[in-house]
Structure 1
Amino acid sequence: MTPTPVTPPPEGCISCEVLDEHILLIGINRPAKRNGWTPRMFRELAEAYTRLDDDPQLRVGVLHAYGDHFTAGLDLPAVVEYLQRGEKLTPPGLVEPHDFGMPGYRRRTKPMVAAVKGICFTVGIELMLGADIVIAADDCRFSQMEVQRCILPTGGATLRMPERAGVGNAMLHLLTADEFDSAEALRCNFVQRVVPVAQVLESAVGIARRIAAQAPAAVVATRLNVLKAIELGQAAAVADFIPVQQRLAASEDAAEGVRAFIEKRPARFTGR
């Protein structure tokens, strides 16, 4: 599939499109500069993630990129002053797309599928690791190269790379700034599937459609329980089992799930 073309300004933008009523396509849109990130793009990405969480009709997001590449990383001349001042690139109060709990920012509740292709450097890796499921094209080139520029990876790479791949594999890629391919990303569990580049967005949207067809409240609760187990431990996640299950069981969607089971048909969930 091909998203609707949108001509970006020179500093780039984030282009959003609603698909099938429930899916928000979030497009990184600065292909002339290999989708190099500017302050405007960071702000608009946080606004798009906030829209996903706040719109009750939307159930899942798909992060993708216009052009041949996901992103070459930060546009350093455009953001270096922010780094020197220790200033955040997005306004407070929004959903923070890296999703690791920055003070003053909201965390996303709804699922995100990332479709990556071509060059995927630095912030691109961190954004895909902040998503829930990643589909990679077979032409991907990855690199977490901050150490080459005397920068600390502050978008979550130091947290999620060792979580997914183990400390040794994480250190290999974080400390050498090497370039690796989709096969290595799959080996390290940074991505979940590798497909031909022509199929990457279609594959991501296919997964998003499967997610959108499930009971929205159960999807959110399941996602948050997984994250709680990772971040706070098994006991904290287990403590939510009974109260969350009770809340879900009292919903209209739970009743619809039972009816669909009895009538042997797909459920039609409304989010209520």
Structure 2
Amino acid sequence: MGSTRQKPREASVNEQNSVSDPSRIITERRGHLLLIGFNRPEKRNAADLALLQQLALAYGVLDRDPELRVGLVYAVGDHFTAGLDLADIGPRLGPDGLDMVPEGGINPWQVDGRSVSKPVVMAVQGTCLTLGIELILASDIAVAAESTRFGQIEVARGILPFGGATLRFPRTAGWGNAMRWMLTGDMFDSREAHRIGLVQEVVPDGTQFERALELAERIASQAPLAVQATLANARTAVRDGAAAAETGLQPALARLAVTEDSRIGMEAFVSRQPAVFVGR
């Protein structure tokens, strides 16, 4: 798949994520990628229920479609997200929390026992608060613009992070680093985000999407079944421990060894030609 540096359009036809109008999330297929864009710039991409539902549906599309290999999440406008739109979400919180995943969707924060099977790369800029950090933690690779400001500020609003930060932030950043930011609600910059492992690369402002796209395209050019198996085994190790992951290694290898992509990969190695994988 050829690389492109064209930025995503700021409007596109959603595949099935039209929970309400106007579209809070825009989607665009680009080869084997699904671009997923926060599209509420006039509210700094604060998440109301419509945005959460549409995002969940976009993740469902990514997970189900065998032609899609990688998701790339970005935001239209100057800011990634200002977090929850509490004026909209607050009244919807019931005794069981927030019901935000329509039929056909997958919880993007993956805190209900189900994970998206494809890798997700993120490009963030401007303000990235609360659920934005948690979405990074639930994803696989994140690229941040240099001037990005981060904040896990739920304690300042009288609630706790409920999108996975309490589970994943200590694991990613270490206990002390995670508690430093979660318990104070203080803001931190992209250099600190990189230091603690929240983001993998910091790039000049305005180039975060292009760099994330490069990484997503690189992943999408690999054998998709092998990518998904690698992701699944690593997640098993994190969730269930090394022993569970070890048990699954040889069976996964055996399944991959008889795929068409394995044959293509071996032939490419012998011929020293680029492999073009088919996902079978």
Q: Which residue of 2 aligns with 1:99?
A: 110
Counterpart in the other structure of 1:51: 61
1:87 to 74, 82, 98: 98
Q: Deviations over 1:218-256 (max 9, x none)?
A: 000001111111111111001011111000000000011
**CA deviation digits over 1:64-115, x for unaligned, max 9?**
0000000001111100012244232222563210123x05xx3201000010
Distance 2:274 2:175 in 1: 43
Match of 2:268 in 1: 260
Superposed CA offset, 1:18-59 (max 9, x none) = 11x200000000000000101111111011011011111110
Counterpart CA distance in 2 for 1:55 and 1:37 is 25
| Structure 1 letter corresponding to 2:131 | V
* Cross-structure match for 2:165: 157
Asked whether the equivalents of residues 57 and 104 of structure 2 are also in contact (C-alpha less than 8 Å), the reply is: no
Residue 26 in structure 1 maps to residue 51 in structure 2: no
Moved over 4 A (4+): 7-12
Unaligned runs of 5+ in 1: none
Does residue 183 of structure 1 match 2:183?
no
Structure 2: distance between partners of 1:96 and 1:115: 19
Q: Are the aligned partners of 1:12 and 1:38 in contact in 2 as well (CA < 8 Å)? A: no
Aligned length: 268
Alpha-carbon displacement from aligned partner over 1:106-158 (angstroms, at most 9, x marks no partner): 32010000101000001111111111000011010100000011111000111
Q: How far off is 1:11 after superposition?
A: 6.4
Aligned residues of 2:81 and 2:129 also touching (Cα < 8 A) = yes
Partners in 2 of 1:30 and 1:271 — Cα distance? 35
Q: Helix, strand or coil: the match of 1:227?
A: helix
* Residue in 2 that maps onto 1:15: 26
Shift of 1:6: 1.8
Residues 140-186 of structure 1, C-alpha deviations (whole Å, 9 max, x = no match): 01000000111110001111110011111111100100000000001
1:34-45 correspondence to structure 2 within 5 Å: 34-45=44-55
Task: Kindly report which structure 2 residues correspond to 1:80-229, keeping only aligned pairs within 5 A, or say none.
Answer: 80-85=90-95, 86-91=97-102, 94-100=105-111, 102=112, 106-229=114-237
Task: Report which stretch shifted further, 24-33 or 7-16.
Answer: 7-16
Give the structure-2-normalised TM-score: 0.92
How many angstroms apart in 1 are the aligned matches of 2:41 and 2:238? Answer: 35
CA distance in 1, matches of 2:180, 2:89: 27
| Paired residue secondary structure (1:168) | helix
Report the 3-state secondary structure (helix = DSSP H, G, I; strand = E; otherwise coil) of the residue aligned with 2:275: coil
1:83 and 1:173 mapped to 2: Cα distance? 25
Q: Is the 8 A contact 2:119 2:140 kept in 1?
A: yes
Q: Do 2:58 and 2:105's aligned partners in 1 also have CA atoms closer than 8 Å?
A: no
Q: What percentage of aligned pairs have identical amino acids?
A: 48
Q: CA RMSD in A?
A: 1.6
Q: Aligned to 2:106, what secondary structure does the other structure show?
A: coil
Within 2, Cα distance between the matches of 1:121 and 1:11?
23
The answer to whether 1:249 aligns with 2:242 is: no
**For the residues of structure 1 that align with 2:22 and 2:86, how far apart are their CA atoms?**
13
Residue type of the alignment partner of 1:140 = T
Partner residue, 2:9: 4
Q: Alignment partner of 2:255: what SS? A: helix
